[in-house]
Every structure is written in structure tokens, then in C-alpha cells.
Chain A
């Protein structure tokens, strides 16, 4: 909404076809008290324990996200103490992000008889011949890692509980709607997320740095909103386009400033201390910059070689001898 009010609406949205299909698939996987889901889980992860016959499916309804999170924590404790198989359908987990609580809803969490908790992620992209799109699997792994982190907070205060670092990814098999599953080890993603969470600037600190009276009310004029958003520092990179609603706004700002990052993060590394398009071009043209700086020297050489190759008659300069 904020992005639309700023005049750079986000390019996202979900097709209802995908939504319907995703929901139908999830329902199919969890049908009959999760029999199929538990069968897949036992097949891929069951070690030592008895095959799950009946699993308890605790009721997790409660008022508000905080209430549901408390209800989930209680159900997890009870299920762990009971020592049987339990399937928590859409539990609610709380995780502190930058000083304020965020609520997360995994597709399912399974409690094993030995007290292990496993996160189950149900996705509607297919596994064709037992392999799925690597980018989508990576995204699912990062998502699950956050759930694992949130579960660990509860497991710390629950006796006999342990959170499995291997999550179960359930996807449609080939071109059917039959479920198949694969185990994904999320230790790496968990470590990365944990580190990033500790490094995040707290929301209060960001708010404290803002000028008095800053508001992000989408009802305000685009100019007011623009200056409000600009007051929060942001480092735009093209990767933002895939994830953030404000990416188009940040990109327009970065382009207006002539930041070289708009061409990709790696470009910045190549260009050393030169950060603007105009600065780089001036250095390459020999108008600015210290020739002793290796970046400037390399840029001038690159510019000279490029010009030579383009200018030579019929573009047959240095390479002419090659023919």
C-alpha cells in the first residue's frame, strides 16, 4: 500500500490458480489426520521409533496471534510429555525480530515419540524425477530455518524436547498431485538467519533516528511519504526487486543518485572507491581520478581497448589479423 501511494506499486501478486492449487495440495497432504504426511515423514526420517499409527492432532484455535502462539507452546509441551506422535496443523510461533515480536505460521510441525520436533513445509512446486527447482528449494529452506529458530526458543523451556535440523519438504510428485517428500538439512540457513537476527538494528533505534513527526500513513501525499521513506536508510541492490515491495521506489532513488549498485552488487566491488556512474565515466575518460589508482588505471585501459575495438574501420582492428 505504501509503495502504491509512493507511486511505485510493487510488481507482486499471486494468481488465484496457484493459490487454489496450493491449498488443494496442502489439504490432500494433511487429509485423514495427516496419515499420508506421517507416512512420508516416517519413510524419510523415521529412525528407531515405531511407525506412526494414530497421531494426535491437537486443537490449536485461540484468540489472536499471541493466544495461538501460547496455545501452540502448550500443545508442544503436552505432546512431548505424552511421548507419542503428534501433528500440529498450522501452529503459531513467535520470534523476536529487531526487538519486536513477529508471528510465524509453519504448515505443520510433527512431534516424534522421542521428543524431536520436525518442521514440515508443504510447497506446490513439483519434484520432477526427484529434483526440484534449486532456487525454490533454497527459499523453502530459508523459510523453514526461521521456523526452526522459533521452535528452539520453545524447546529450551520444554523438557525432553529437541528441534530437528532436518526439515521435511513435501511437494507434488512429477506432474501429478500425489505428494512426495525430501529431507532438507537447514543447519546452514539456521546459522545464517541466527546471525542476521542478532545483527539487525532494533526497530526502536531506527524509529528514534527518524525526525519528529515522521509518518508512513498511506493517506499522506507522495512527497511527504517520499521524504519519510528516505529518512530510513536503505541499500538498494537488484536482488531487492524479487523480495521487497519498496524495491521500485528504492531503485528509482538509487538511479537518480547515479549509484553503480543499480547494475548489481558485484559492480561495486569491481569499481573500488568510485561509486557513481558519472564518476566512473569521468575517470575512464581521463577527466578525473588519480592515474596511480589501480582502478582508475584499469578503467582507462578498458575504455581505450573498447574504443579501439569499436572505432576501427568495419570493426576490424586488432582482431583483423585473426581472420
Chain B
């Protein structure tokens, strides 16, 4: 946490209200995000309990599992979830626009432009918390290797038709969420924490209810009191006012309400199975559906507050104008979305359990690039983020006081104007340190030449922090090809700019070998050591229950 963020948190403590950490929204939000609020069964891996899902805040679709340990009911849940999620994804997958992509021609090894289709927009998925993102990944993992009857008629417990496909999509979303700055799958808590500083620790900020209490407290109540009520306030029956945002449920809810309801359901089911005639069966079927309804309404009761909280968070975020460069990152998300659509359409197998060495290295490198790019873009989009970088000496704002024309000493001299800048900041400049400014959205490079001793006294870097210093920069590019710099490409006295010490665009790292050329130090080419196991579905136990 930088000092500027700490200061914002302290101000929030003092004012009883969250303080802004950004002046623009740094994540793209689509017009129609799909919100998913999942719940899981305590102690079970990948046994969902229920979910609210949908794009219309007034009409979420409630999907529940009456007995989470029953495989058939779990499959029915997943099939219904697929029905709710896949049509939404597919509606985006079908709308494309022509685009160009750089590819290496396998024959000549040259870079060529290829005409491809890019989805005009991508389906965005919002979950309440970071644990929700992990759960999406876990759900994806639990589904993508399942076999349906079509895949294999002899499979012992076939999954419903679209479940493996949903698993592949959720896996893709879960993986993409690990790329910094990506907006395909977002957690509401992460979104809010990026834009506001609360008066509590980042640990407590993971609680969606408490977080919203700080950002948008009820009239006349300090955020800390509202947050405390959201965290720990319980009604007379011992139930939380603000149920956890999931996927884990509150133990008091499990023990006092849910467990007895599931027990009633189990009893009703056993009774139905032992019913002797049609009349008795009818009556018991009524009991069974009554028990199921009760579980549904219980789950709806704890899901709905979180559902509303997510939408409230989205409303708050929508009030911020979107950062200029967020769109650029969203385009990358669209490429990622389109890429996965193409892989699914091409009939490629599901994502392997473990990435091979080259894929893993590629993912890591692209995430590092994305992180650096995100940091640079956020600072360029938002003066408040830039302020943090200025405080750290990684950027500075200064007024141009003098411009002196100079030329490079080559055969064809090119313009290398010397610009004197006055600033009261203390950037970490060394000899020939490169600095960048934004010129019509593109970075212009300059290098640091020297500090100017002002007047008689030499103010190098020993002056006190508030004193102004003069420094000379040499502009080195973006001035056109001619001997005279292109108009508008050289700063003029009186101009006030932000200069950054970090690059605006990120270059990718060195090229990685093809998977077939993986060196033996990294396990050799994939498929040589272990072929096949990635394809095998998880073993299923004969027991119906987990």
C-alpha cells in the first residue's frame, strides 16, 4: 500500500466514509453483465448449493440443489446453470466483426496480417467476491472433463449434454481473471476496492456488505458502524442481516435453518420411495415438493441480499467515467473471448489439468506484461493514480521554461531540442534516464541531461523538498523525418506536462520455443512423458453421495 493510499484510508477513518482512490473507472463494464452469486456446501469440494444468475437485477434466476450430496440433483443444477449462462455467452460469440491479426507465416517465417473475425463484444461475468472467482474456476474444473452420453455411451454417470461445455467456458473465465486488468470475470469486491479506500484493513475489505457500508453508508451513520452491522449484526433468530457474499454460507444458517430443511427433504423422499399406492404417493409427493420449496426460499433469502449488493456496487461504479485506456484492455478481453470461442468451435479438447512448460511460461510472461501495462495505463488515465507515482519519484509534472534547438551529430542531423522544465518534485533521474510524455496518445521519449544550477546558488538535489528545480531534457523522437521538427511536436515555454519514468507501452518478452521444442530441463516436449491422462475424466465413485 503506498503512502497516498494509506492517507486515503486514514481520511476515510476520520470522515466515516470511503475516500476515492481513482477519479475514473479503470475497468470496462458492459451494458449487460451477467451476475452470478453462487453458494457452496460447507466442507464439500465442488458441491454447489444454489445460485442466483441473470442479467436483469429485478428478475434473477434461482437455481438450487435440495440435497447437495446427491449426484443427480447436482447434475440437474449444473445443467440448469448451463442453460442460464451458455445462451448469454453464445449471444456474444455469434456477433463478430472483421479484424486483422499479426501472424507468423509458417512457410516463410515472416509476419503477415491475417483477416480474422473478432467478437464485437464479449460476455462479462460478475461475481460478488474473490472467493467467487475461485469457485468459478473450481466449477469449471469439476465440469470440463465430464463425459456425456454422446461422448461415451458406456460412461457410468453421464453428465447432462451442455455441462462439459460450461466447464470449459468457466475455466477460460477463471484463467482470464488472473490476467491483471482483465474484465471478463470480475469480483464486485475487487472492483470497489480498486476505486475506493475504506477506513478498515484490506482483510476486512473482502466483505462485500461492509465494503458497501463504507462507500455508501446510510444517511447520518458513519461507515464504521454500518460496516460493523453488516459484519456481525444478527436478527433474533441468530441469522446475519447481511449473509456472507459466498460461496461459503454462514455456519449458523447451515446449522439452524438449512440442515433441518434438508433433513425434512430427505425424509419426504424416503417416504415417497416407500409409498405403497398412488394416493399415498401423491400426498407424499406434495410433501416432497413442499420441502424442496422451503429449501429454495431459504437459499433465496440468503442469496438475494448479496445479489442486490452486487448490483448496488455496479451502480456506484457506473457513476465514474470510464478511463480512456480501459477500452484498450477490453479489446484484449474480446480477443481472448474470440480465441476461446474458436477453440471450442474447432473441436479442441478441454483445457488440460496442468499447463505444459511452454504454455505456463507464456501465460506468466503475458501476465507480467499485462501488469506493467495496467500500471502505466492507470497512471496515464487518472491524475490520482499518477499522484502516487509522482510521490514515488516515478513521474513528475513540470512547466516548460525554455526550449533550445539542437541537432544530433550524425551525417544527417536530426532535431534534438533541449527543453528546460521547472518542477518542485524529485524524480529519480540519473544520467540519460529516459522519460516519456504523451503526445496525441502516443509516447514521446526524452532523456535527462542535467540539473540547471538556478541563479547563483547551485540547487542540485540538496534543496528542501518544496523548492523548485530546473532540469534539462533532450527530446529524441516523434518529431517527423525532416530537419525541422513537425509542428506541435516540440513543447513550448509555458506548457505544463506530466513526464513519466516508466514506459507507456509494454513490449512482450523474448519469444518462447514451440511446445515441441521444450528443453529437457523443463520436462521435454509435452506428450512424450505423459500422453493421455489430461484427457481422462475424473474417476467416479460408485456411491451416489460424495
Using CB atoms and an 8 Å cutoff, list the residues of chain A in contact with chain B.
Answer: 8-9, 11-22, 124-126, 128-129, 172, 174-178, 238-239, 241-242, 248, 255, 258, 260, 262-264, 266-267, 270-271, 277-278, 280-281, 284, 297-299, 301-303, 305-306, 308-310, 312, 315-323
Contact = CB atoms under 8 A, between A and B. Distances in A.
Nearest to B384: A309
Interface string B183-199: 00000000000000001
B429 interface: no
B46 interface: yes
B345 interface: no
B230 to A, nearest CB: 12
Contact of B249 (A15, A19, A258, A312): A15
Interface residues of B, number: 68
A129 B24 CA distance: 40
Interface stretch (B252-260, B289-297, B366-374): B252-260
B46 A175 contact: yes
A239 B259 CA distance: 31
B386 A309 contact: yes
Interface in B493-546: 495-498, 538-541, 543, 546
Contact of A241 (B41, B203, B387): B203
B354 interface: yes
Given A277-B14, A318-B383, A174 B538 contact: yes
A264 B7 contact: no
Contact of B44 (A21, A248, A301): A21
B206 to A, nearest CB: 11
Contacts of B388: 305
Contacts of A306: 4, 7-8, 384, 387
Interface in B320-369: 324, 353-354
B201 A238 contact: yes
A322 B380 contact: yes
Interface string B377-403: 001111110111011000001000000
A321 B43 CA distance: 54
Contacts of A315: 23-24, 382-384
Interface of B: 1, 3-4, 6-11, 13-14, 20, 23-24, 41-46, 138, 141-142, 199-204, 224, 231-232, 249-252, 254-255, 259, 324, 353-354, 379-384, 386-388, 390-391, 397, 437-438, 441, 465, 495-498, 538-541, 543, 546
| A174, A258, A278, A319, most chain B CB atoms within 10 A | A319
Contacts of A125: 45
Nearest to A276: B10
A238 B354 CA distance: 35
Contacts of A271: 6
Contacts of B254: 15-17
A126 to B, nearest CB: 4
Given A11-B231, A17-B41, 14 more contacts: A14-B251, A17-B42, A17-B44, A17-B254, A20-B43, A128-B138, A174-B538, A277-B10, A280-B7, A302-B3, A302-B4, A302-B7, A309-B383, A318-B387
Given A264-B203, A305-B4, A315-B23, A19 B380 contact: no
Nearest to A9: B232
Nearest to B380: A322
Given A21-B43, A22-B43, A263-B201, A255 B546 contact: no
Contact of B7 (A12, A175, A177, A299): A299
A21 B44 CA distance: 7
Contacts of B250: 13
A255 B43 contact: no
Contacts of B9: 263, 267
A12 B8 CA distance: 31
A140 B10 CA distance: 35
Nearest to A323: B324
25 contacts: A17-B44, A18-B43, A22-B43, A128-B138, A128-B141, A172-B45, A176-B546, A177-B541, A177-B543, A255-B224, A258-B13, A263-B9, A277-B14, A302-B3, A302-B7, A305-B4, A305-B388, A305-B391, A309-B383, A315-B23, A318-B496, A321-B438, A321-B495, A321-B497, A322-B381
Given A11-B231, A248-B232, A309-B386, A267 B43 contact: no
B13 A176 contact: no
Contacts of A262: 13, 200-201
A281 B11 contact: yes
B438 A176 contact: no
Contact of A13 (B138, B255, B379, B437): B255
Given A238-B201, A277-B10, A310 B3 contact: no
Contacts of B138: 128
Contact of B252 (A13, A22, A267, A281): A13
A142 to B, nearest CB: 18
A310 B13 contact: no
Given A175-B46, A175-B546, A318-B386, A270 B541 contact: no
B284 to A, nearest CB: 25
Top 9 closest A-B pairs, CB basis? A18-B43, A15-B42, A319-B383, A13-B251, A238-B201, A315-B23, A126-B45, A15-B254, A21-B43
